[in-house]
Amino acid sequence: MQGKIGLEEHFAIDDTLHDSKGFLADSTWPELESRLMDMQERRIAEMDRHGMQTMILSLNAPAIQSIPDAKRASDMARRANDFLAREVAKRPSRLQGLAALAMQDPDGAARELVRCVKELGFRGALVNGFSQIGDPNSMVYLDDARYRGFWAECERLDVPFYLHPRNPLPSAAQIYEGHPWLLGPTWAFGQETAVHALRLMASGLFDRHPKLQIILGHLGEGLPYSMWRVDNRNAWTKAPPRYPAKEKLGFYFQRNFHLTTAGNFRTQTLIDAILEVGADRIMFSTDWPFENVDHAAIWFDACSISEADRLKIGRTNAERLFKLA
């Protein structure tokens, strides 16, 4: 399929580059470093070879979210956003941007989102999970009451918000002790992000802001497979929910969430996601440079779905959500 749009596609700046070291073997670092720092050459060549029209770019992880000092985090987010805006301006038909935000300062993050959307032309934001605020050992999630004003601004701007993974801090990762291979994209990324998304659903956020649209990568971080059980465990007891949200969580999953294929190139999993949320809420992505464009594109172009759904997932859903057309 020609004209695909990808929206979980990453880059780094000098200050955040080494946040991506350690997820892969040391022997692969020179290659990953080259991929992360390239903006206009190999990236565009890979897109051309595999039918991608546009990449919507975002900063690598955890980056801004791992800086406990709010002022330093805000300064770095602004520098990263200004850098990305300059790169997008060179090829706006091929590259677009998602804002990096210092959620350590909720009011400042709202102002930066407005600046990125209104002045830089960005299409939304991507935040790497919880933020460390003040204390390096803190983990502040986005259902916290301090973010109420931020979410109101996000809804007012009518731009999507990408909830991207990060590993739990060592102090909260005892279950992985002795099994470091479970960290990162193998397992911990998905589990951490799935729980974060469930917290948002249960908090009442989408009752207050029903137009908010959240994006999850990797075909939903396992949630499509689990949402029925989340809402229907021990149904014979008829126990009322023990959270503030007014609806079952599956309601918000189908109304307020979108999924991407980033880093999860499996037809059976894609079909399950389609059955749970519908083809209108799934979008193609590769997870470059951590995954290969060719692995994503060759699989997607041949996977056993209808051509109508392939067009939606490959292009038109993203055009509509990000107002690209």
- Position 24 pLDDT exceeds 90: no
Please give the angle made by the CA atoms of 180, 181 and 187, to the nearest 5 degrees.
Answer: 105
Which residue in this structure is represented by tokens 């004003």? 149
Q: What's the confidence (pLDDT) of residue 325?
A: 78
Instruction: Compute the mean pLDDT over every residue in the chain, rounded to the nearest whole number.
Output: 97
* pTM exceeds cut of 0.75: yes
Burial 40-75 (b: 16+ CB within 10 A, else e): eeebbebbeebbbbbbbbbbbbbbbbbbbebeebbe
Q: Domains in the chain, ordered, with CATH? A: 4-321 (3.20.20.140)
- Position 163 pLDDT exceeds 90: yes
Cα(149)–Cα(157) distance, integer angstroms: 12
Task: Give the closest residue to 164 by CA, choosing from 57, 92, 265, 246.
Answer: 57
Whether the bond into 289 is cis, omega within 30 of 0? yes
Cα(85)–Cα(148) distance, integer angstroms: 27
Burial 265-301 (b: 16+ CB within 10 A, else e): beeebbbebbebbebebbbbbbbbbbbbbeebbeebe
pLDDT tens figures, 63-99:
999 999 999 999 999 999 999 999 999 999 999 999 9
pLDDT tens figures, 247-261:
999 999 999 999 999
Query: pLDDT confidence of 193, banded at 50, 70, 90?
Result: very high
- Position 22 pLDDT exceeds 90: no
CA 253 to chain centre: 15
**Residues involved in catalysis:** 287
